Structure 1
């Protein structure tokens, strides 16, 4: 998918109720993020899954460039979240 296609799909999913999850550090999050995003750094995600919502919650995840969001997708799926979309970079929002 192109960055534009990723953006359109992510915005559509969030508009339909998906959780927008920022897995960057709190410092990166403070430097700018989409208004509706929740910040759970990827290294804290395994112990904070309940903050995402119950398994089955639709999730759109992103980071700065895509490496941490890919890791977060794996963690979410291992935690029972099956409807996860990787936006990759916050810049695509």
Structure 2
């Protein structure tokens, strides 16, 4: 198990998130992300964005990197879960 001291933000829908997610991750659906820019910028970094397969989280990571946020696209939530919780 890798120790992680940042924040995991899952950008899937609430319904997808409720079907399974990384422990201690925060759910902010991609379609609502613009309403949470300041909140996300204030989160403990690095921030790892995840979704179902990496597409939506890639969009979020690209946007927040352009704002100077220390973040990355973690890809699918199952991969992120395996990376930090196995």
Q: 1:45 deviation in Å?
A: 0.9
User: CA-to-partner distance for each residue in 1:28-52, whole Å, 9 max, x for gaps?
Assistant: 0000111210000111112202232
1:86 correspondence with 2:76: no
- How far apart, CA to CA, are the structure 2 residues paired with 1:75 and 1:91? 22
Q: 1:56–1:35: structure 2 CA closer, same or farther, 3 Å change rule?
A: closer
8 Å contact from structure 1 (residues 55, 80) kept in 2: no
Q: Gaps (5+ residues) in structure 1?
A: 1-7
Structure-1-length-normalised TM-score: 0.73
2:50 alignment partner, SS class: strand
For structure 2, the residue ranges without an aligned partner over 5 or more in a row are 82-86
1:22 equivalent in structure 2: 10
